Structure 1
Amino acid sequence: MTVNLTNNTCNQIEWEQRFLISTIVYALVLAVGLPLNTVSLWVLLRRHGLRSSSAVLMINLAASDMLLALSLPLRVYFYATLRWPFGTAMCTAAVMLFRINIRTSCIFITLISLDRLSALVFPLRSRSLRTSGFASKCCCLVWILIILLCIQESVNYTRALNNSPCGSNIFCFEVQVEGVRTVALGQATFFLILLLINIVSTVMVICALRKRPSVDAAKVNNKMSVILIFFVNMMVFIVFILPFSLQLMMVTIKNEEKEHRGGSDSLRALICLASVNCCLDPLIYYFSLDSFWQDKSKSQGDATTHSLSRSMERS
């Protein structure tokens, strides 16, 4: 295992201008994402609880985004000062929180799409699966599997930090661990599969909605709200997740086939872009729901889906 750093990268003066944009992006994501996810998580727990599969999935998505937001102050400090006085354990934890967020967010977003798809297209056959208990079990399984995957990665990353040629001046988030081609390829393939699931779900929902004509504005708005959520799911993958994952795979492959090079500017930029996803989830998945601010005793499951289904039954 080697570290993708050279002695030149230990020159702090050369890095200051290059990392200014990273500092600004992470600071903005922190300023927007942390309060939005905090409010979203508080409202979901207080007003909805674990009473429906939709609420359970959204709570876990909000919790995942919160973990990323809480790690961003460390990234802001690092890119603003180009120093890391907090040790290897804290650095590894911050990096793993980012990876956990990216992976769990993609899975929870896909589960939300499948939950909405089953409620709209297969309302009777999916009733036994769309329960809070089943959703909770799925979410627990996701957390366990992703954390287990990150355990070995955290060990490798810690070793890479300890072997950094910069000595005590550890460039935390700029260390790239070699020898993980299989993981990078597997992650990109997995995200592509999740994107395909979201695309198929979107097409099926659109086809199902087109077969049921709307006669008033309320039904049209309900349909548009549901379709918007599915399109946003795909956009999160296409704009924020896949570019970072594919670039990471390409960088890993090139570093194994050629001479080791310094950190990739494009990869650094795409990591910043991927972190923005934690700001969009609260805005789209929570505040766009009609039932988001309602009391949990007055709401059952996803109000948008419920309202749409009720309107369809009357038509």
Structure 2
Amino acid sequence: MPNNTVHDNATDLEMNRAYAVVFGSVIVLGLPLNAVSLWILLRRHSLKSSSAIFMVNLAISDLLLVISLPMRVYFYATGSWPLSIMACIWITMLFLNNIRSSSIFITFISLDRLLAVVYPLRSRHLRTPSNAWKSVALVWLFVLVVNIPESFHFTRSIRDSNESTCFEFREPKLLQSNLSYIQPVLVVTLLAVNLVSTVLVSCTLHKRLNDSAKVNNKVNVMLIFAMNLMMFTVFFLPVSLVVFFQSGKHFFTLLMCLASVNCCLDPLLYYFSLDGFWKRKEDADTSGQAPLNTL
């Protein structure tokens, strides 16, 4: 029995080091990629289009995730938590918020592309900066409202279970509560929306196969939807569905590591979503090439 305990401790130590490496790599890649993307979006693309507004907020969501990771790296590298329980709770909230806000913003980008391709004329009154900002405000409000009861639940559960460490939520009641089902319901619903949007856009582009004047860069359009579906199925869905499995708590940290990688891939979404991503908007306009986000 002692030998098994020693073996388990050694395995946990190796896994913790692996987690620290993964989270550290996400910081190294995610911070400059999203910071540069945010700078380009703000500096070279005006916030007068709904797509750019959603992408700016997606980049902000990713940056909030990245700034929460250094303490995770410290915890998994040293095995100790020097801050308070509330600090642990709010860093955890930043992580969960990224999954929720990113999934919603990515879905908004998909819906914006859907309206631009399938209903280009009828959707113009919907795809306005004003409506985009209202939608963004509702998303952040929703995220904050969910955080309030969640933070109380995590605080009470950790204290009741005498957990002395951070992020390692071993007790089932920490993962399985009525509040924990908000995220999987949200992610599954948004995944369904993305699937329907992908099918509708694919059918429309197939019908307009020879009508390049109406829909430019068809390959880029489908790449956007393919990337969005990959984000959901690979990064958001597994960690969200873990609450439905009794053994899920043993894989929770591993799935959190996987979910954190999504912030490193979002800049590719900006690149394929905006024609002339590296150019100023006015340069693209004068070149005669219509940006994709104006479809």
Match of 1:304 in 2: 292
Whether contact under 8 Å (1:248, 1:267) holds in the other structure is no
Moved more, 153-162 or 237-246: 153-162
Residue in structure 2 matching 1:231, options 184, 202, 226: 226
Root mean square deviation of aligned Cα: 2.5
- What is the DSSP-based 3-state SS (H/G/I as helix, E as strand, rest coil) of the residue aligned with 1:41? helix
Structure 1 293/14 Cα, relative in aligned 2: closer, same or farther at 3 Å? closer
What is the 5 A alignment of 1:1-315?
15-165=12-162, 170-176=164-170, 178=173, 180-214=176-210, 222-251=217-246, 264-286=249-271, 289-298=274-283, 303-306=291-294
For residues 97 and 22 of structure 2, what CA distance do their matches in structure 1 show?
20
Give the whole-Å Cα distance in 2 for the aligned partners of 1:76 and 1:231: 31
Shift in CA distance, 126/221, structure 1 to aligned 2, threshold 3 Å: closer
SS at match of 2:217: helix
- Please give the alpha-carbon distance, in whole angstroms, between the structure 1 residues aligned to 2:228 and 2:170: 29
4+ residue stretches of structure 1 with deviation over 6 A? 11-14, 218-221
| More contact order relative to length (CA 8 Å, sep ≥ 6) | 1
Superposed displacement of residue 78, structure 1: 0.4
In structure 2, relative to structure 1, the CA distance for the partners of 1:56 and 1:287 (3 Å cut) is same
Instruction: Tell me the CA shift for residue 14 of structure 1.
Output: 6.8
**208 and 288 in structure 1: CA distance in 2 versus 1, 3 angstrom threshold:** closer
Normalised to the residue count of structure 2, the TM-score between the two structures is: 0.88
Shift of 1:106: 0.4
Cα 1:135–1:152, aligned 2, differ >3 Å: closer, same or farther? same
Distance change (3 Å), C-alpha of 1:74 and 1:98: same
Between stretches 110-119 and 266-275, larger displacement belongs to 266-275
Displacement of 1:35 after TM fit?
Answer: 0.8
Pairwise CA distance, 1:122: 0.5
Conserved in 1, the CA contact under 8 Å of 2:30 and 2:264? yes
Task: Kindly state the Cα deviation for residue 264 of structure 1 after the two structures are TM-superposed.
Answer: 2.8
Displacement of 1:182 = 2.2
- Quote how far apart the aligned CAs of 1:20 are: 1.7
* Superposition TM-score, scaled by structure 1 size: 0.82
Q: Distance in 2 between matches of 1:95 and 1:293?
A: 34
Q: Tell me the number of residue pairs that the alignment of Structure 1 and Structure 2 aligns.
A: 283
CA deviations on 1:86-141 (whole Å, 9 max, x unpaired) are 11121111100001110000000000000010011101111011011110000000
Q: Residues of 2 paired with 1:246 and 1:221: CA distance?
A: 37
Q: Which runs of 5+ in 1 are unaligned?
A: 1-7, 255-262, 310-315
For 2:129 and 2:183, the matched residues in 1 are separated by 28
1:19 deviates by 1.2
Contact 1:188 1:249 in 2 (8 A): no
Partner SS, residue 209 of structure 2: coil
Cα distance change of structure 1 residues 181 and 162 upon mapping to structure 2, 3 Å threshold: closer
Separation of aligned partners in 1, 2:25 and 2:238:
21
The 1-side partners of 2:24 and 2:278 are apart by: 28
* Identity %, equivalent residues: 49
CA contact (8 A) 1:48 1:299 kept: no
Structure 2, unaligned runs of 5 or more: none
Matched-pair contact (CA < 8 Å) for 1:92–1:158 = yes
**3-state SS, counterpart of residue 82 of structure 2:** coil
Residue 266 (structure 1) shift: 1.6
